[in-house]
Amino acid sequence: MPKPPSRRSKATSAASADSTSAANSANENISQQEDPGSATITVTAVEVTELTQEEQSDRLHLERKVERAFFEAGKALAELRDRRLYRSSHRTFEEYCRDRFGHSRRQSYLLMDAAVVFDNLLEKCDPLDHILPTNERQVRPMTKLEPEQQQEVWVKAVEQAGGKVPPARIVKNVVQQIMERTQVPNTYQIGEVCQILAKDNPELRGKGGCWGIVNHVGEFSCTVKIWDGEYTVGLQHLKSFNYLPAECEQMQQISDRISRVYSDSLEETVKSLLQSLGKLNRPYLTVVEEKLLSVLELEYGRIP
């Protein structure tokens, strides 16, 4: 008995026929055109509705909140620090920021410094139509400048960015140009005694207030020998004691004596004593200080 014809085969055949017919029709349409490249493509336009006055106000308000996010963070951190609102749970502000926000000490202080710069620009840069920094990295290069210089840098950076918020790269370049223009010649001399000014420089952490002997003079920095080693320090982080030559020579002798005693293996109490001698703001040792240093020299056998 013969099997009835398959419906699937019919459907497939019909689909194939329809496909062939559609293809032939398309070919006929293309062949009727003299230049297929001139075929017109119709695009349906989508109407974009304008923002209402309330929506425009909301947008501006939200944009300002995004722009000021790092500024508000820096202001809040500064208030937390100044009012010591961390004291109920943490011994130091640095420990509090690390545990509460996951901040390193450097990160918290960068945000606070950036907030000071932003506040200065917000107050003085009205002609820029409120074109202000949107992140901390754009502000960071300006933190070591005077307020007037910060404003000058930002104006020039915005101009170089075509009237838009400039990237950190442009700001840094403008800062460098101004620093080169205002660079004070290095007048330090080898053997001169000077004090290190840390000024929130993380590379000089723990060295603020230390005195040192200049043993190398560069174009924009000096190498100074302090109680625990040698450091290359920028001119903005140095201050001369203006000692007389005889006083400088006396401090050089004290520096040599401390350096001969010091080593990383010393007890912490001994290191603390040497550090205190390394922060003297006078060109001599008292009678007690002289005795203490002499005892350390005898104990560690480092008398020349």
* Same domain, yes or no: 97 and 145: yes
Q: Would you state the pLDDT for residue 154?
A: 93
pLDDT of residue 234: 86
pLDDT at 302: 63
CA atoms within 13 A on the CB side of 123: 9
**pLDDT score at 129:** 59
Does residue 234 share a domain with residue 135? Answer: no
pLDDT tens, residue by residue, 92-119: 999 999 999 998 888 899 899 999 999 8
What is the spatial distance between Cα 17 and Cα 23, in angstroms, rounded to a whole number? 10
- Domain extent, residue 248, equals 193-299
Q: What pLDDT score was predicted for residue 294?
A: 94
CA-nearest of 148, 224, 152, 150 to 186 is 224
Amino acid 47: pLDDT: 66
- Write down the pLDDT at residue 157: 93
pLDDT of residue 77: 92
Specify the pTM. Answer: 0.46
Tokens 């002289």 found at: 290
- Total tally of structural domains belonging to the chain: 2
On whether both 76 and 170 belong to a single domain, the answer is: yes
238 and 176 part of one domain: no
The structure tokens listed for 23 are 């293809």
Do 76 and 157 fall within a single domain? yes
User: CA 203 to CA 209: how far, in whole Å?
Assistant: 14
In this structure, the answer to whether residues 206 and 141 fall within a common structural domain is no
The whole-angstrom separation of Cα 289 and Cα 277 is 8
Please check whether residues 207 and 100 belong to one and the same domain.
no
Question: Domain ends where: 161, 181, 201?
Answer: 181
Q: Which pLDDT does position 23 carry in this prediction? A: 46
Going 182 to 138 to 122 to 200, the CA torsion angle's sign is negative
228: in domain:
yes
Q: Mean pLDDT by 10-residue block, N- to C-terminus, for the chain (304 residues)? A: 48 45 47 55 68 84 77 91 92 91 88 91 66 90 87 92 91 85 80 90 85 90 92 90 94 94 91 94 94 92 63
DSSP letters for 169-188: HHHHHHHHHHHHHSPPP---
- End residue of a domain, out of 146, 161, 181: 181
Residue-wise pLDDT for 175-227, tens only, equals: 888 877 766 678 899 999 999 998 767 778 889 999 999 999 987 789 999 99
Please tell me whether residues 241 and 289 are part of one structural domain. yes
Do 68 and 129 lie in one domain? The reply is: yes
